[in-house]
Amino acid sequence: MSIIQKNSDKNHAIDKNSLIFKKSTLILTRKIGEGIILGPNAEIEITILSNINGQTRIQVEAPKNCPIWRDEIYKNHLTHYQKEKKLKE
């Protein structure tokens, strides 16, 4: 079974059995109260709560086994991990 996934350049056929998926990009506009549902089983839900003075509050609901990171904290964590790994080599 193949899934067609739209890309900005062209469509890619992806073999669902191989579990090799390329990154997807979706750019859209959402109003307060609207959301986005993600994941192969629709298990992640993102909802827009408010937008005040250029700051958008969002709510992310995901399974407990799915970590949720702010990007700056995740990047800092990765950088720290990579430095530790180099020191051990």
Where is mean pLDDT largest: 3-7, 68-72, 80-84?
68-72
pLDDT computed for residue 21 by the predictor:
59
- In this predicted structure, the answer to whether residue 9 has a pLDDT above a threshold of 60 is no
CA atoms 13, 16, 42, 56: torsion sign: negative
23-50 tens-digit pLDDT: 788 889 999 999 999 988 999 999 999 9
For the chain, give the mean pLDDT: 79
CA distances from 77 to 25, 41, 72, 80, 83 (A): 24, 28, 9, 5, 10
Structure pTM?
0.61
